[in-house]
């Protein structure tokens, strides 16, 4: 009954509105090249795909369960595409505007009781200090139970999906001929059922040049605009591109030097010497959950747990097929695009590991709150540019490249700000753009924008320092004030971007494997 009602209420948004929204997404085939794998590896990938589909179902529960019901009941192909792209009824690259709901996006999605605010949570925690850790955990959903605010662990809330997923990971482990990845998959299966990802994260970083790898965990906090700490499940299945991976290894040795060169006091830039920084260039024939919906990542730096950063380091993954897809319609050729992207991912792992608040180490995400996603993306962009300048200065990259990198970063901003400022990358780059304009490193004349290369290094260094300090001090008010000041789209830029409205904003990946296992939903998508 609920089914039918939903259908009647929501299935008739204006088709033309959906068509306009969909024109911002470029459908791109993401083929699965089975010829690169032997029969056993193919079976292993298929097991991982099955496991990934369970994570997909959890994601919809976290994001917007109503949207999944609509997806399964509607006959409107445009509505179905929009729901699948966004994993919800809100347009993630247009200020989260509702396209199939009459309500604005709930800041806590389905991770918090409707309407619960941060202030209410803080007041509750003051009265119930023993429950603080559970309430702030990245792996609990909050629910009212009478007057009690209950923190339900993910492994309980999503048990019906996690149990089959864990079993499938074990089966994939049985099929693998790589002992390290088998070990990792078994540990990850255990993590799904306990919410303790630490041991499996360490094992993941120890993998050496795996042919098949996976991102398979609740890592990112993009769904949580209440506390900014609750994670959502995401999966990418990865197949190694060996020659491209080897090329990147060259740059790993500079990571500790760039960290040491950051404009911060030493205690806020813990040494990266002796840390692992594996870089993998991978094709991803299948993604689900938060890696599938909304913004399409071309690279990643994981895990996010600062304890893992301190103990071992992070892994940088470059999604080759997604980079290729993006560069096909984006202004930049891959050659100019790759190094800034590499430095962006390296820089997610640089800077402070914790905020120092009243002499205590606090998780940066928790200290900064919802503005953290935008701040961390901006830090990666700007520290990345700072690192590129460092590499050029030290002869690791040719001198004539630096201005190209500055120019392509600014050109990239024109694409990214089209995500709107509700999306973390869009918000970060809008802020960067306005700051560069204020510093006269970017200026406009005769309707065109130009980069003042002489002013760029200082502007980048100043902004890097500001963003790193916000993270080091965990100063939420300063970060919020900064973004509120700089994240608005100037009218003349909005006007200039209208000329580009025919150009898609992002790719809509079409996988060889259906995303949803049952019903015609999955069957039509490939």
Report angle CA 354, 384, 315 to the nearest 5 degrees: 60
Is 171 or 423 the residue whose CB approaches Zn ion more closely?
A: 423
Is 138 or 340 the residue whose CB approaches Zn ion more closely?
A: 340
Tokens of 254: 């500079």
Residue identified by tokens 């989260």 is 96
- The answer to whether 310 and 57 have CB atoms below 8 angstroms apart is no
**Alpha carbons 288 and 324: distance in angstroms, whole number:** 19
Establish if 346 lies at the interface with Zn ion (CB under 5 A).
Answer: no
> Minimal CB distance to Zn ion: which residue?
380
**Alpha carbons 19 and 9: distance in angstroms, whole number:** 20
- The answer to whether 427 and 421 have CB atoms below 8 angstroms apart is yes
CB of 292 to Zn ion, least distance (A): 17
CB of 415 to Zn ion, least distance (A): 15
Is 13 or 313 the residue whose CB approaches Zn ion more closely?
A: 313
- Return the H-helix or E-strand segment holding 442: strand 442-445
Establish if 342 lies at the interface with Zn ion (CB under 5 A).
Answer: no
Is 46 or 377 the residue whose CB approaches Zn ion more closely?
A: 377
Kindly write down the DSSP assignment for every residue of 230-248, as one continuous string: --EEEEEEEEE-HHHHHHH
Q: How many residues bind Zn ion (CB under 5 A)?
A: 2
Is 283 or 377 the residue whose CB approaches Zn ion more closely?
A: 377
CB of 208 to Zn ion, least distance (A): 25
Nearest residue to 504 via CA among 323, 326, 288? 326
Window 349 to 378, contacts with Zn ion (CB under 5 A): 377
CB of 377 to Zn ion, least distance (A): 5
**Alpha carbons 473 and 467: distance in angstroms, whole number:** 10
Window 212 to 231, contacts with Zn ion (CB under 5 A): none
Is 121 or 378 the residue whose CB approaches Zn ion more closely?
A: 378
Is 30 or 380 the residue whose CB approaches Zn ion more closely?
A: 380
Establish if 380 lies at the interface with Zn ion (CB under 5 A).
Answer: yes
Is 323 or 380 the residue whose CB approaches Zn ion more closely?
A: 380
Question: In DSSP terms, which residues pair with 236 in a beta bridge?
Answer: 215, 287
CB of 371 to Zn ion, least distance (A): 15
Pairing of strands 279-289, 315-319: parallel
DSSP 8-state assignment for residue 276 = B
Is 211 or 415 the residue whose CB approaches Zn ion more closely?
A: 415
- The answer to whether 18 and 70 have CB atoms below 8 angstroms apart is no
Window 305 to 324, contacts with Zn ion (CB under 5 A): none
CB of 90 to Zn ion, least distance (A): 22
3-state secondary structure 289-346: ECCCCCCCCCEEEECCCHHHHHHCECEEEEEHHHHHHHHHHCCCCHHHHHHHHHHHHH
CB of 304 to Zn ion, least distance (A): 11
**Alpha carbons 503 and 501: distance in angstroms, whole number:** 5
CB of 316 to Zn ion, least distance (A): 10
CB of 291 to Zn ion, least distance (A): 13
Kindly write down the DSSP assignment for every residue of 74-125, as one continuous string: ---HHHHHHHHHHTSSEETTTTTEESS-SSPPPTTTTTS-TT--HHHHHHHH
User: Which region, judged by CB under 5 A, interacts with Zn ion, from 74-82, 248-256, 380-388, 510-518?
Assistant: 380-388
Is 64 or 377 the residue whose CB approaches Zn ion more closely?
A: 377
CB of 424 to Zn ion, least distance (A): 8
Q: Which residues lie near Zn ion (CB under 5 A)?
A: 377, 380
């Amino acid at each position: 009954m609920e089914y039918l009602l939903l259908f009647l209420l929501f299935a008739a948004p204006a088709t033309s509105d959906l068509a306009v929204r969909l024109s911002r997404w470029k459908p791109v085939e993401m083929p699965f090249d089975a010829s690169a794998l032997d029969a056993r590896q193919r079976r292993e990938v298929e097991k991982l795909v099955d496991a990934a589909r369970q994570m997909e179902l959890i994601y919809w529960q976290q994001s917007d369960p109503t949207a999944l019901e609509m997806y399964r009941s509607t006959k409107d192909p445009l509505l179905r595409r929009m729901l699948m792209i966004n994993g919800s009824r809100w347009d993630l690259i247009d200020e989260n505007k509702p396209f199939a709901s009459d309500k604005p996006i709930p800041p806590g999605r389905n991770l918090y009781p409707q309407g619960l605010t941060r202030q209410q949570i803080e007041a509750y925690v003051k009265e119930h200090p023993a429950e603080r850790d559970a309430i702030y955990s990245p792996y609990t959903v909050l629910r009212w139970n009478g007057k009690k605010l209950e923190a339900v662990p993910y492994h309980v809330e999503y048990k019906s999906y996690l149990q089959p997923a864990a079993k499938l990971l074990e089966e994939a482990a049985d099929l693998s001929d790589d002992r390290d990845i088998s070990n990792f998959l078994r540990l990850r299966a255990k993590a799904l059922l306990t919410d303790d990802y630490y041991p499996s994260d360490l094992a993941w970083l120890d993998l050496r040049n795996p042919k098949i790898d996976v991102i398979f965990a609740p890592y990112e906090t993009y769904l949580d605009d209440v506390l900014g700490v609750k994670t959502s499940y995401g999966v990418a299945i990865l197949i190694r591109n060996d020659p491209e991976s080897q090329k990147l290894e060259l740059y790993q040795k500079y990571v500790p030097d760039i960290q040491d060169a950051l404009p911060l006091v030493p205690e806020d830039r813990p040494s990266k010497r002796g840390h692992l920084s594996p870089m993998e260039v991978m094709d991803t024939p299948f993604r689900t959950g938060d890696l599938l919906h909304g913004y399409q990542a071309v690279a990643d730096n994981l895990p996010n747990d600062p304890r893992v950063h301190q103990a071992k380091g992070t892994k940088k993954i470059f999604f080759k097929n997604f980079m290729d897809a993006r560069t096909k319609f984006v202004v930049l050729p891959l050659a100019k695009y790759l190094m800034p992207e590499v430095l962006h991912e390296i820089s997610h792992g640089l800077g402070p590991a914790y905020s120092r608040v009243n002499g205590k180490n606090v998780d940066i995400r928790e200290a900064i709150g919802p503005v953290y996603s935008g701040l961390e993306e901006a830090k990666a962009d700007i520290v990345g540019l700072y690192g590129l300048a460092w590499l050029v200065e030290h002869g690791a990259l040719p001198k004539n490249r630096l201005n190209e990198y500055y120019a392509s970063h600014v050109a990239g901003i024109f694409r990214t700000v089209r995500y709107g400022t509700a999306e973390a990358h869009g918000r970060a780059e809008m802020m960067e753009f306005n700051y560069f304009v204020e510093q006269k490193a970017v200026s406009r004349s005769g309707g065109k924008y130009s980069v003042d290369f002489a002013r760029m290094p200082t502007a980048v260094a100043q902004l890097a320092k500001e963003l790193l300090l916000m993270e080091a001090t965990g100063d939420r008010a300063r970060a919020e004030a900064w973004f509120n000041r700089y994240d608005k789209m100037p009218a003349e830029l909005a006007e200039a971007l209208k000329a580009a409205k025919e150009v898609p904003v992002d790719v809509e990946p079409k996988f060889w494997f259906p995303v949803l296992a049952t019903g015609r939903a999955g069957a039509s998508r490939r």
